[in-house]
Chains A and B, each alone.
Chain A
Amino acid sequence: MHKKRVVITGMGVIAPEAESLPLYDEILRSGRSLIRHVDELEAFGFEAQNGAIADPLIDPKNELLRLFEIDLTSDFIKLAVKAAYNAWQDAGLPIPDPDSEEVDYDTGVMIGGVISGIEQLVSKVVPLLEKKRPKRLGSMIVQNTMPSGASAYISSIFALGNQAMSLNSACSTGVDSVNWGYHSVASGWAKRMVVGASDAYNPYSWAGFEGMRVLNRNSNDAPEKASRPMSESAKGFVPGSGAGVLILEDLDLARARGARIYAEILGGFSNCGALRGKGSMTFPNREGVIRALKTSFELCNIKPEEIDYINGHLSGTMADPFEVQNWFDAMQLKGRKFPYINSTKSILGHSLGAAGALEIVATILQLYNGYVHASLNTEDLHPAIEKLIGRDAVPLERVDFPEMRIAAKANFGFGDVNSAIVLRKFEE
């Protein structure tokens, strides 16, 4: 069957201090860190006390969303619902009548997440079970902890009747959710997909990373310096939170309704290094990464030299130089200049499952508006990276780049998973 072309017609983000797309764009353009000292982490005994916290509060003036708040207690769902509302509006789609029985069976939802409603378990289930009173939990725990809860609420809010699912592939979740939506529309399963990912601030889940000693604990007095992907002094990532949601549409549908088109998804690919070679639960098998990147270029029918910009996974750990080496080897540019590469995590921190979704939105904003945002805290670029791709490939300040045409984005996650997506500025 002929594959449909898939375009992005709407985007919404709930990032720390940035709940609108123009503000998110402005933050990326100006390269302003959203990382702050989190007093609660200090109170809980974390040595790494910085984070980026997105606000799950639903605006009481939002007539539609407040109808759904009665039984909505979970922060990751609230973030997803808010981002989906913004994306839906940004796409120029009509807000449905909540009392209508009409269902749109052509539009589906795929919202990923890693941590989901863990705070509900910790704050509600644990105390009641310790008192041997599980019946006192009432009815709302399951729908607020289940990973597909965000998709379920979004289908309900917008009356969407195609698939409503969630996926989790650790830090690859965001890219995989968007790729899933791409395949759904390309194959004809759905005509439109609401896709993305959400993860909320939660000291109980962040504690696991503190336990692993993978958070940067050397910068509590200078939060904006804490997230330093690709720098020689990178000493761990900074946890973040938020949600990114995109509206993907069959090009014919988007054209028929005269939608604004941000970019086209050319395709993507995901694999797993199977924890072989030097691969482990937390470090990638290099062969798997290179295969994933190469295969995504092949499936999208592009040559690596056509890529103008890379939005890396680049979380600010010792793995960053290896990641850049893997991109370099997968692309085999043979003496040609390496494209621009930056890390959106230098601004937003690492919001786990949501990271990929927020970073894809960032990639598209840069592609659509023609710039490459600064990769913060790369004054001391790692010498191995500088030697390989040169200082100029990693912007210390924003670079205006209106000619940008193709962007590649990848995330790599625990479990040795690798996911890539390729985006192109829309061409008729």
Chain B
Amino acid sequence: MNKQEIKEKVIAILKKYTRREEVWENFSDTSDILNDLKINSARLVDIILDIEDEFDLEVEDEAMDRIRTINDVVEIIAEKKAEKKD
């Protein structure tokens, strides 16, 4: 799975947690999940749970703390996927 495919799946998950469609009209890899997508910070753990299910991996709390942008999520997933292959 390449990063583009990961990103598409991540966006599909994030969409479950945004109140309004409009936040997706202008977004980029560096969009801030809390400030730009206006997702409640408490929902980050739910997003992580969905990611764990979708990508069949485990994200520890320390990794979650590093997440700010869409790209951060994609990078963490790509890293975990690579570790798994090793």
Residues of A near any B CB (own CB < 8 A): 67-68, 70-71, 98, 136, 138-140
Contacts and interface: CB of A to CB of B under 8 A. Distances in A.
Contact of B19 (A67, A136, A138, A139): A67
B20 interface: yes
Nearest to A138: B46
Contacts of B46: 138-140
Nearest to A66: B19
B49 interface: yes
Nearest to B44: A139
A395 B46 CA distance: 54
A136 B43 CA distance: 13
Contacts of A68: 19
Nearest to B52: A136
B85 interface: no
B66 interface: no
Contacts of B19: 67-68, 70, 98
Contact of B45 (A67, A70, A98, A138): A138
B16 interface: yes
Interface of B: 16-20, 40, 42-46, 49
A26 to B, nearest CB: 36
Contacts of A136: 49
B34 to A, nearest CB: 13
Contact of B43 (A67, A98, A139): A139
A71 B49 CA distance: 14
A140 B46 CA distance: 8
Contacts of A140: 42, 46
Given A136-B49, A138-B49, A71 B20 contact: no
14 contacts: A67-B19, A70-B17, A70-B18, A70-B19, A71-B40, A71-B42, A71-B43, A98-B19, A138-B45, A138-B46, A139-B42, A139-B44, A139-B46, A140-B46
A163 to B, nearest CB: 23
Given A67-B20, A70-B18, A139-B45, 7 more contacts: A67-B19, A70-B17, A70-B19, A70-B43, A71-B42, A139-B44, A140-B46
Nearest to B50: A138
B22 to A, nearest CB: 10
A181 B20 CA distance: 34
Contacts of B17: 70
A136 B58 CA distance: 11
Nearest to A99: B20
A136 B17 CA distance: 17
B24 to A, nearest CB: 14
Contacts of A71: 40, 42-43
Contacts of B49: 136, 138
A67 B17 CA distance: 10
Contacts of A70: 16-19, 43
Contacts of B44: 139
Contacts of A98: 19
A239 to B, nearest CB: 32
Nearest to B16: A70
A133 to B, nearest CB: 10
Nearest to B38: A99
A5 B49 CA distance: 51
